[in-house]
Structure 1
Amino acid sequence: MAKTASAPRRAEPGAGMSERMVALFAVAGGLAVANIYYAQPLLTAIAAEFGVGSATAALLVTVTTAGYALGLALVVPLADVLNRRRLVVTLLSVVAAVQAASAFAPSVGVLTAISAVLGVSAVVAPLMVAFGATLADDRQRGRVTGTVMSGVLIGVLLARTGGGLIAEVAGDWRAVYLVAAVLMVVLAAVLHRTLPDVPVATRMRYPALLRSVVSIVREEPVLRLRCAYGFLCFAGFSAFWASSAFLLAGEPYRFGEAVIGAFGLLGAIGAYAARVTGRFLDRGWEKATTGTLLVLLLLSWGVLALGGGTWPVALVVGVLLLDLAVQGVQVTNLGTVYALRPEARSRITMAYTGTYFLGGAAGSALSGAAYAAAGWPAVCLVGAVLALAAVVLWAIQTLRRTR
């Protein structure tokens, strides 16, 4: 009897989710995705310990994000053909081991290599978003997707705050990785006991599964459009956060690791506010909402450019606008693409988020090169060009549909 009582419950797709379960999914997604962002407020400390420049240290972010994109391509589609609960718990266990290894990295080269492995295995957050969309019923799907995505995005931002605070309190950036390893062990245990088993809807061999992703992208123009928005938005988002630590540590700010990490709290406010985007989506306002948010994104880069000088208030406002716009577009994008093919949500997640994080890798790389070449104004120019490209794309699509 004890064994039967401890067995995971089964749930059918579209059965609905309780508020408690939605909250668990949001927290789990946030804690999982935080693993690929802990290093960002630590870059100056890592660079100092290993005696490398800002561009070399920033490579940690680029490699981790690129590894994450690879994991999205190769691992996430498996959720359409495997037991989701077991897949999530296995990946969290791997992440825990990798984070523990990062804490003892003897060189920046080794840490970079470990970061690549971390990125590939740390794809639990998009799995949780697709899992939630599968469990939710039709009336709550937009709200559930928005809530879980808000949890994921807040995790992205608070990872910087937590990473900087832990490093400053402990006096060692390596402590951040040890704490992350412990958190993943605890999360894996909780999800192992709590997540339901959902019947697998698709039976397909792995090579055919991956090929089907290409077919879905080819056959769904809405998915291609939303992938383009995601690429451009997250490239700009990553461009800011990849170089913000160097801006805040230098003149005129000269902030410590804890204060640099605390800037993630500003972004978390924007991510939380983006939850309302899911409600606009449920009302059928996705086109107007997307356009408004993209214009807001472009505006944010002008404000952030002012914040690089003697206007710290402009930097704060710019961060709020940037994160609100990027997170709002993300929620709108996912809500739109998840309505396309319910039986292939994990593969749609792979196509969308894979493109999304490739944009992140590109933005991080461009940001590191721009900051090394011409400082903060160059980073803002990169972000503004990416945002302008998204606005132009939206305008072209809107005009075509109007005609």
Structure 2
Amino acid sequence: MRSSNSSETPLTRGLIVLLAVGAGLAVASLYYSQPMLGVLGAELNAAPGALGWIPTLTQLGYAFGILLLAPLGDRYDRKRIILAKSAVLAAALLLAGFAPGMGLMLAASFTVGLAATMAQDIVPAAATLAPAERRGAIVGTVMTGLLLGILLSRVIGGFVAENLGWRVMFWLAALAILALALALWRHLPGFAPTSRLPYRALLGSLGTLWRQHPELRRSAIAQGLLYMGFSAFWSTLAVMLHEAPFHLGADAAGAFGLAGAAGALAAPLVGRVADRHGPARLGRLGAALTALSFASMALLPALPPSAALWLIAGSAVGFDLGIQMSLIAHQSIVYGIDPAARSRLNAVLMTGVFVGMAAGGALGSMALAHWGWVGVTALATATAAGALALRTLPRRPARVAQCEA
């Protein structure tokens, strides 16, 4: 099989856009159901408690997929993996659209999460095809698509469900994935495997990579800490806005989520900064901006409600951008550690992100219950400061590899 790399396969602007759209459509599949749970539950006669398992199983499927499936990109042709996951994802979305009851809906939700990890195959594919001097900018562009998929999926899902029905949303999503698969089949080059390890050894090598590469550990822990504060904020914002002095509904909390678009749209520019000045510096700047943005919200209790809302919005723009800066920096660092292990390195990095988000949701709720919004702000600021401290520690050289790639 012909290897596809930056020297043999020109990475055209059209292909970059296609990869960005692919990452966005894949990850959007995780979130379409969230705004539709009310109408979906009414038609399927599901209790509110049972409905909560739909997004939960989708996220669990995604977590398992990152850990168990993403490393396969080093062992097999990444293009075939992406196309196979596209087919499974389209089938799972169709199954969700036709589901007569909660049993099939839950099974489809878990499968959607597993197959949506094709987004985590697309990003390393872009990094592999990109020339080293443009890798940050290209990865940033693909991440723009991924982040816009997250941001817009809930809006689109709610609109389509309200006007055309929730089943139509799943069907349209499946058709979009099939169209994407056709375009990728025609335009995405093949990738030669970079490892001969069998599956069990491939998974075992995740631990070996973790032990061998201090920069991988530093990047995964730092990004996990940043997402811990991120998750603590967003998981408690709706509760905080519902209470005095704001008395706002869930739609207001959702509107603040649009602030994340600033980070998404800035991703290509951020990637160019990483290419020009180095990802380590960008990572420090991102962590510092995140810490300052979270810390600024300590002023909320002293402000009138209208000014406090503006501060929350401005802070959200700041920490979303800071976290995006750090993510692109850490991806650039991790992808440069060992080109033959990019899929596994990405799996380790994104596992750190997922663990941070899960822990942040739990710790944020505890902080809000015991210390109010000040506690949430303190938690988020502390985690961002911890990430900044990790990024400023002196580097240590990686240990020499002891196992076959």
Q: Give yes or no for TM over 0.5.
A: yes
In structure 2, the CA distance between the partners of 1:193 and 1:286, relative to structure 1 (3 Å rule), is closer
Structure 1 counterpart SS, 2:189: coil
Which deviates more from structure 2 when the two are superposed, residues 19-28 or residues 370-379? 370-379
What residue identity is the alignment partner of 1:215? T
**TM-score scaled by length of structure 1:** 0.82
One-letter amino acid of the counterpart of residue 290, structure 1: G
Instruction: Label 1:34 to 1:186 Cα distance change in 2 as closer, same or farther (>3 A).
Output: same
Aligned residue number for residue 403 of structure 2: none
Please state whether the residue corresponding to 1:36 is helix, strand or coil.
coil
Q: Is 1:139 matched up with 2:136?
A: no
Residue 358 of structure 1 is aligned with which of 331, 345, 355?
A: 355
Residues 188 and 179 of structure 1, relative CA distance in 2, 3 Å threshold: same
Letter in 1 for 2:129: L
Which amino acid in 2 is paired with 1:281?
A
Look up the match of 1:5: none
Contact 1:13–1:136 (Cα < 8 Å) also in 2: yes
Alpha-carbon distance, 1:327 to partner: 1.0
Residue 70 of structure 1: how far off its partner (Å)? 1.6
Distance (Å, rounded) in 2 between the aligned partners of 1:117 and 1:211: 24
The change in CA–CA distance for 1:110 and 1:371 in structure 2 (over 3 A counts) is farther
Using the TM superposition, name which of 74-83 and 182-191 deviates more.
182-191
Whether 1:252 aligns to 2:247 is: yes
Structure 1 residues 276-333: Cα deviation after superposition (integer angstroms, max 9, x where no partner): 2222222343333222211221233345573995532223212211210111110000
SS of the counterpart of 1:12? coil
- Superposed, 1:34-183 pairs within 5 Å as 34-42=28-36, 50-52=46-48, 61-103=55-97, 114-170=108-164, 175-183=168-176
**Segment drifting more, 13-22 vs 261-270:** 261-270
Q: Does 1:327 align with 2:321?
A: no
Query: Which letter does structure 2 place at the counterpart of 1:313?
Result: W
For the pair 1:13 / 2:13, whether they are aligned, the reply is no
**1:190 aligns to what?**
183
Indicate the RMSD between aligned Cα atoms, in angstroms: 3.4
- Checking the alignment, whether the CA contact within 8 Å between 2:238 and 2:249 is kept in structure 1 is no
Greater mean deviation of Cα atoms: 377-386 or 194-203:
377-386
**Is the Cα contact below 8 Å between 1:58 and 1:242 reproduced in 2?**
no
The residue matched to 2:133 in structure 1 has which SS? coil
User: Do the aligned partners of 2:289 and 2:318 also contact (CA within 8 Å) in 1?
Assistant: yes
The answer on whether the counterparts of 1:161 and 1:265 sit within 8 Å (CA) in structure 2 is no
Q: How far apart are the structure 2 equivalents of 1:59 and 1:315? A: 30
Residue in structure 1 matching 2:311, options 294, 304, 314 = 314
State the distance in 1 between where 2:326 and 2:182 align: 33
Match of residue 268 from structure 2: 275
Structure 2: distance between partners of 1:286 and 1:392: 16
- Supply the distance in 2 between the matched residues of 1:304 and 1:40 (Cα, whole angstroms): 28
Which residue matches 1:6?
Answer: none
Write the deviation string for residues 14-37 of structure 1: whole angstroms up to 9, x where unpaired. 234111111111111111111223
Contact 1:296–1:325 (Cα < 8 Å) also in 2: yes
Closer, same or farther: CA 333–261 of 1 in aligned 2, 3 Å: same
Segment of structure 1 superposing worse, 9-18 or 154-163:
9-18
Is residue 209 from structure 1 mapped to residue 206 from structure 2 by the alignment? no
Tell me the secondary structure at the aligned position of residue 140 of structure 1.
Answer: helix
Q: C-alpha offsets along residues 117-155 of structure 1, whole Å, 9 cap, x if unaligned?
A: 322221111211101111122232222122112221222
Tell me which residue corresponds to 1:3. none
User: Against the structure 1 CA distance between its residues 38 and 233, is the aligned structure 2 distance closer, same or farther, given a 3 Å change threshold?
Assistant: farther
Structure 2 equivalent of residue 301 of structure 1: 294
Q: Name the stretch that deviates more: 173-182 or 20-29.
A: 173-182
What's 2:402 paired with? none
Give the aligned residue type for 2:319.
L
Distance 1:74 1:44, change over 3 A: same
SS in 2 for 1:139: helix
User: How many angstroms does 1:224 deviate by?
Assistant: 0.6
Please give the secondary structure, in 1, of the residue aligned with 2:65: helix
Deviation at 1:109, TM superposition (A): 7.9
User: Structure 2 unaligned runs (5+)?
Assistant: 398-405
How high is the sequence identity, in percent, across the aligned residues?
35
Residue among 339, 346, 350 paired with 1:342:
339
Structure 1 Cα separation of the partners of residues 39 and 387 of structure 2? 35
Matches of 1:40 and 1:298, distance apart in 2: 29
SS at match of 1:13: coil
Deviation at 1:269, TM superposition (A): 1.9
Q: Specify every segment of 5 or more residues in structure 1 that has no aligned partner in the other structure, as ranges.
A: 1-8
TM-score when normalising by structure 2: 0.82
Residue 59 of structure 1, CA deviation: 6.2
Q: Deviations over 1:35-68 (max 9, x none)?
A: 2233444567778985537xx8666555433332
Point out the more displaced range, 239-248 or 121-130.
239-248
Structure 1: distance between partners of 2:41 and 2:292: 32
Cα distance change on mapping 1:45 and 1:155 into 2, 3 Å: same
CA distance in 1, matches of 2:284, 2:142: 23
